[in-house]
Chains A and B, each alone.
Chain A
Amino acid sequence: MALDPATVRRIAKLARIRVSDEEVARLQTELSGILGWIEQLNEVDVSGVAPLAGISHQRLPMREDEVTDGGRPDAILANAPARADHFFTVPKVVE
């Protein structure tokens, strides 16, 4: 399946990655190539097959709903590219 430029831009928007016009053209070719190759899966009859999301050898474990970690704001904020006191900062989002 060949992707059109508008679809490439829409996916890039959903993925929050800026792409230039030049890159859109290249990505169109690359992504269409990958998706075209993937289309071989359409030849397999999968009717009646239950989907498998992952390999789990056991039931997911349950535990008490209690705090097990936390209270370390300085360690967590140490990697923040921008911060003010114990907060991460971003451009203004509410007028």
Chain B
Amino acid sequence: MKKVILIADDSPTIRKFVSFSLTMNGFDVIAASDGMEAVEKLPSQKIDLVITDLNMPNLDGFELIKAIRSNEEYKDIPIIILSSLSGSEEIEKGMSYGASSYLIKPFDPKRIQYEVSKYLN
């Protein structure tokens, strides 16, 4: 059975890039255009990993991580931040909220595959 990855990003092109990079490596990818939609999609199927942007409307990436980590059912899901923000403040905040990895945009498809494999294989 294929592992399912949820990508939350308000940029349609980034959602597409991530999908493209991961589906060719045998993962199923479902997409959400913001944190709120990601939270709504979490119960739809068993999510194995979440990739999230930080700057998003409605519910940003930090709040999404907080929501996932505070839910008993989803708290152990690995979360990878994928953002163009590279300040140490954001990185430290993201990691302290419970992110598993932090990747910078533009991302190397091989790096994202490596990070995903680290948690799912």
A-B interaction:
no
